C-alpha cells in the first residue's frame, strides 16, 4: 500500500503537457512575484562564503524524478541566500540590470516561442521585428539616418556590449588588413601592424576583444586624469597616433565612451570623430549605460559627434527597463560586419538568402543561434511609450542629483568627480595627517555599509583616490531608497570616526 502511494506521489513531471505546463508556469510566476514583493527582506549583497553551495547539494543528479515543490523549496533555502539582489531598490552597485513587467513579459514570450532566428527564414518575424524596433530606438536617440535601415545602416541586438565591440573590432580588423594585403603584405603579418586606441577608462571588454582578435599587442591605452574628468584627450590621441605612424604601424580602431564604467566620463565624440576620419580609423562609441539617458532631449548633447562614428552600442538591459540580455548595436556599414563574419553553408541555404532579399542576422554576430530579444524591446516601447521611458530615466537622475546636493552640503564628504547621469562618485574627506590619503578609511566605510545588507554600493579608484560609487538606476529605486542609503552611510561614517 505504502509503496503504491509513494509511486503515485512520484509521478514525474511531463516533458511538455500543456495543462501541466500552464499550472507549473503559474506557480513559477507566483514564486517570482513573491520574490519581488519580499525583496527588501534579503541582504542586498549576498553574505555567503565561497563554496557554500557544494555543502548543500548532492554530488550527483537524482536518478529518479523529483517534484517541483521540492526544487522550489531548495531555491528558497539554498539558492536565494547566494543571490545578490540586483532587482532590489537599494542596489546601487556597478551599473544596474533593469527588469520590468513589460521586459519580463517579452522575455517570457521569447522563452515560450523558443525560436532560433539565425537567418530570416528560420523565423522571419524575429529578423524583421529586430530591424523595426532598432529603427524605433535609434530614432528616440536621434541617431543619424545612416545608422538606421532607411539610411543603409543596420541595428542588431547582441547579448552584451562585450560581444558588440568584438564584432566591430573584427570587422575593422578585416577592413584594414585588406588594405595592407593589397600592398603585398601577408594576412598574418598585417594583423601585427594594426594599432588600436582606447583610454585607461575604456571598458576592459575592448581589451578582451583585442585579445580575441589577435591585435592586443598594439592596443594603446591612453592615460586620462582629473583635468578632463577622465575623458580621453584628443591631443593625447593625436600624439599616440603620430608615434605609431612614425614607427610603421597602421592605426585602425578607436573606441570612445559615453559614460565610462568607473565614473561615467564622457569622451568628446566630435573631436575624436574628426581624428578618426582623418586617419580612417573605425570609430566605435560605447555608451552601454549612459546611452539610455540620451532618449531625453536634455541629455542628447552627450552623443554629439556620434554622426562621425562607424558604430554605436548601448545596453537597454542596463537602464532601459529591458530584462537581461539586450545590447543594441548600430553600424553604418553592415557590409563590413558581414564581410568579416558571414558564412553560407549548404545546410542553411534557402531562396530568400540566395536571392539576397534578406539579412541573416547570424552574419552580424559571433554565434549562429540567437534569441528573439527584440520582443522585449518592442514590449517596453509599446507598453511604456517614449514618455514613460523618459520619465523613468529622469526620476533616477533627479534622485542622483539630490544625493549630490547632500554630499556637497555635508562637511565631511566630498564629490570626487562631478555627477554624470545617475552615477555619484564620492568619498569621506581625508584627514591631512592620513598617510593613506583616506583610501583605507573609505574602503572600511564601504565594507561597513555593505555588510549591513540594507543597500549595496561598489567602489572605483580614480587617479589613486579610493572612491565610493553609487549608481542610481535599479528599476524600483526611488528617492526614498537613496535617502535611506545616505542615512546608513552617514551612520557608519559616524561610527568609524568615533572609533578612530
Ligand X SMILES: *Cc1c(COP(=O)(O)O)cnc(C)c1O
Closest approach of ligand X to the CB of residue 320, in Å: 13
Q: By CB under 6 A, is residue 319 in contact with ligand X?
A: no
Range in contact with ligand X (rule: CB under 6 A) among 155-163, 178-186, 221-229, 350-358: 155-163
Q: By CB under 6 A, is residue 289 in contact with ligand X?
A: yes
Q: Cβ distance 376 to 109 under 8 Å? A: no
Q: Enumerate residues 326-365 that contact ligand X by CB under 6 A.
A: 327
Q: By CB under 6 A, is residue 477 in contact with ligand X?
A: no
Q: How many residues bind ligand X (CB under 6 A)?
A: 15
Cell representation of residue 263: 565614473
Closest approach of ligand X to the CB of residue 377, in Å: 15
Cell representation of residue 294: 540620451
- Answer for which of 47, 146, 149, 160 binds ligand X (CB under 6 A) is 160
Q: Enumerate residues 26-55 that contact ligand X by CB under 6 A.
A: none
**Given the complex with ligand X, which of 291 and 438 has the nearer CB atom?**
291
Range in contact with ligand X (rule: CB under 6 A) among 29-37, 282-290, 393-401, 410-418: 282-290
Do β-strands 458-462 and 465-471 pair in parallel, antiparallel, or remain unpaired? antiparallel
Q: By CB under 6 A, is residue 97 in contact with ligand X?
A: no
Cβ-Cβ contacts under 8 Å for 124 (sequence gap 6 or more) = 358
Q: By CB under 6 A, is residue 320 in contact with ligand X?
A: no
Q: By CB under 6 A, is residue 458 in contact with ligand X?
A: no
Q: By CB under 6 A, is residue 207 in contact with ligand X?
A: no
Q: Please give the C-alpha separations between residue 195 and each of 210, 243, 472, in angstroms, as whole numbers.
A: 10, 11, 36
Q: By CB under 6 A, is residue 474 in contact with ligand X?
A: no
Residue 428's H or E segment, with its range, is strand 423-428
**Given the complex with ligand X, which of 193 and 317 has the nearer CB atom?**
317
- Answer for which of 107, 286, 310, 492 binds ligand X (CB under 6 A) is 286
Torsion region of 17: left, alpha or beta (phi above 0 gives left; psi -120 to 50 gives alpha): beta
Range in contact with ligand X (rule: CB under 6 A) among 237-245, 253-261, 409-417, 426-434: 253-261
Phi, psi values for residue 97, rounded to 5°: -120, 100
Range in contact with ligand X (rule: CB under 6 A) among 71-79, 256-264, 457-465, 483-491: 256-264
Q: Cβ distance 248 to 276 under 8 Å? A: no
Closest approach of ligand X to the CB of residue 84, in Å: 15
**End-to-end Cα separation, the chain, in angstroms:** 70
What residues form DSSP beta bridges with 256? 285
Q: How far apart are CA 129 and CA 150, in angstroms?
A: 15
Q: By CB under 6 A, is residue 292 in contact with ligand X?
A: no
Residue 121 has, within 13 A of its CA and on its CB side, a CA count of 11
Angle CA(39)–CA(40)–CA(42) in degrees, nearest 5?
75
- Answer for which of 83, 85, 92, 95 binds ligand X (CB under 6 A) is 95
Q: Cβ distance 456 to 474 under 8 Å? A: no
**Given the complex with ligand X, which of 140 and 288 has the nearer CB atom?**
288
Closest approach of ligand X to the CB of residue 224, in Å: 14
**Given the complex with ligand X, which of 197 and 289 has the nearer CB atom?**
289
Q: Give me the sign of the Cα torsion angle 267, 422, 158, 385.
A: negative
Q: Per-residue x/- marks for ligand X, 164-203, CB under 6 A?
A: ---------------------------------------x
Range in contact with ligand X (rule: CB under 6 A) among 124-132, 146-154, 156-164, 191-199: 156-164
- Answer for which of 161, 215, 381, 425 binds ligand X (CB under 6 A) is 161
Cβ-proximal residue to ligand X, closest one: 160
Reduced to 3 states (helix: H, G, I; strand: E, B; else coil), residue 200 is coil
Residue 22's H or E segment, with its range, is helix 18-38
Q: By CB under 6 A, is residue 293 in contact with ligand X?
A: no
Cell representation of residue 166: 568584438
> Considering all CA atoms of the chain, what is the largest pairwise distance in Å, rounded to the nearest integer?
88
Closest approach of ligand X to the CB of residue 404, in Å: 20
**Given the complex with ligand X, which of 161 and 416 has the nearer CB atom?**
161
Cell representation of residue 241: 597616433
Range in contact with ligand X (rule: CB under 6 A) among 38-46, 119-127, 254-262, 464-472: 254-262
Q: Per-residue x/- marks for ligand X, 409-448, CB under 6 A?
A: ----------------------------------------
Range in contact with ligand X (rule: CB under 6 A) among 97-105, 168-176, 285-293, 336-344: 285-293
Cell representation of residue 205: 571588454
Angle CA(125)–CA(131)–CA(134) in degrees, nearest 5?
130
**Given the complex with ligand X, which of 180 and 205 has the nearer CB atom?**
205
Reduced to 3 states (helix: H, G, I; strand: E, B; else coil), residue 164 is helix
Radius of gyration of the chain measured on its C-alpha atoms: 25
Q: By CB under 6 A, is residue 98 in contact with ligand X?
A: no
Per DSSP, the residues of 442-466 read: HHHHHHHHHHTSS-B-EEEEETTEE
Do β-strands 154-158 and 250-257 pair in parallel, antiparallel, or remain unpaired? unpaired
DSSP-assigned letter for residue 76: I
Interacting residues toward ligand X by CB under 6 A: 95, 160-162, 203, 205, 257, 259-261, 286, 288-289, 315, 327
Amino acid at each position: 500500500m505504502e509503496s503504491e502511494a509513494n509511486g503515485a506521489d512520484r509521478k514525474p513531471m511531463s516533458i511538455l503537457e500543456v495543462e501541466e505546463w500552464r499550472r507549473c508556469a503559474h506557480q513559477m510566476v507566483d514564486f517570482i512575484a513573491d520574490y519581488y514583493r519580499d525583496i527588501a527582506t534579503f541582504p542586498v549583497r549576498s553574505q555567503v562564503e565561497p563554496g557554500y553551495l557544494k555543502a548543500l547539494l548532492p554530488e550527483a543528479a537524482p536518478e529518479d524524478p523529483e517534484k517541483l515543490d521540492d526544487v522550489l523549496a531548495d531555491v528558497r533555502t539554498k539558492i536565494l541566500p547566494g543571490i545578490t539582489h540586483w532587482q532590489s531598490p537599494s542596489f546601487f552597485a556597478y551599473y544596474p540590470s533593469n527588469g520590468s513587467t513589460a521586459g519580463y513579459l517579452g522575455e517570457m514570450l521569447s522563452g515560450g516561442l523558443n525560436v532560433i532566428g539565425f537567418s530570416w527564414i528560420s523565423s522571419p518575424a524575429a529578423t524583421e521585428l529586430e530591424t523595426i524596433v532598432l529603427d524605433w530606438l535609434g530614432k528616440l536617440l536621434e541617431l543619424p539616418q545612416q545608422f538606421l535601415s532607411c539610411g543603409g545602416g543596420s541595428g542588431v541586438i547582441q547579448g552584451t556590449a562585450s560581444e558588440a565591440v568584438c564584432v566591430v573590432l573584427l570587422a575593422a580588423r578585416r577592413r584594414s588588413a585588406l588594405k595592407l594585403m593589397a600592398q603585398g603584405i601577408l594576412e598574418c603579418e598585417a594583423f601585427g601592424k594594426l594599432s588600436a586606441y582606447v583610454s585607461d577608462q575604456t571598458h576592459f571588454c575592448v581589451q578582451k576583444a583585442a585579445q580575441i582578435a589577435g591585435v592586443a599587442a598594439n592596443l594603446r591605452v591612453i592615460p586620462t586624469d582629473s583635468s578632463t574628468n577622465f575623458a580621453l584627450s584628443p591631443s593625447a590621441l593625436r600624439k599616440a597616433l603620430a608615434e605609431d605612424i612614425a614607427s610603421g604601424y597602421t592605426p585602425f580602431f578607436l573606441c570612445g565612451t559615453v559614460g565610462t564604467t568607473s565614473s561615467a566620463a564622457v569622451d568628446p565624440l566630435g573631436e575624436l570623430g574628426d581624428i578618426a576620419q582623418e586617419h580612417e580609423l573605425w570609430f566605435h562609441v560605447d555608451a552601454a549605460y549612459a546611452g539610455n539617458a540620451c532618449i531625453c532631449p536634455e541629455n542628447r548633447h552627450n552623443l554629439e559627434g556620434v554622426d562621425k562614428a562607424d558604430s554605436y552600442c548601448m545596453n537597454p538591459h542596463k537602464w532601459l527597463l529591458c530584462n537581461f540580455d539586450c545590447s543594441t548595436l548600430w553600424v553604418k556599414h553592415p557590409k563590413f560586419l558581414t564581410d568579416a563574419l558571414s558564412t553560407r553553408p549548404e545546410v542553411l541555404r534557402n531562396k530568400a538568402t540566395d536571392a539576397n532579399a534578406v539579412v541573416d542576422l547570424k552574419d552580424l554576430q559571433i554565434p549562429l543561434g540567437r534569441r528573439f530579444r527584440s520582443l522585449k524591446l518592442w514590449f517596453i516601447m509599446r507598453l511604456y511609450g517614449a514618455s514613460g521611458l523618459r520619465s523613468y530615466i529622469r526620476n533616477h537622475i533627479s534622485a542622483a542629483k539630490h544625493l549630490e546636493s547632500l554630499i556637497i552640503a555635508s562637511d565631511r564628504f566630498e564629490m570626487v568627480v562631478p555627477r554624470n547621469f545617475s552615477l555619484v562618485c564620492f568619498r569621506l574627506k581625508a584627514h591631512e595627517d592620513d598617510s593613506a590619503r583616506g583610501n583605507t578609511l573609505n574602503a572600511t566605510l564601504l565594507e561597513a555599509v555593505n555588510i549591513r545588507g540594507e543597500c549595496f554600493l561598489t567602489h572605483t579608484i580614480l587617479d589613486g583616490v579610493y572612491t565610493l560609487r553609487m549608481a542610481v538606476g535599479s528599476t524600483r529605486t526611488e528617492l526614498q531608497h537613496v535617502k535611506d542609503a545616505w542615512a546608513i552611510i552617514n551612520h557608519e561614517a559616524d561610527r568609524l570616526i568615533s572609533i578612530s
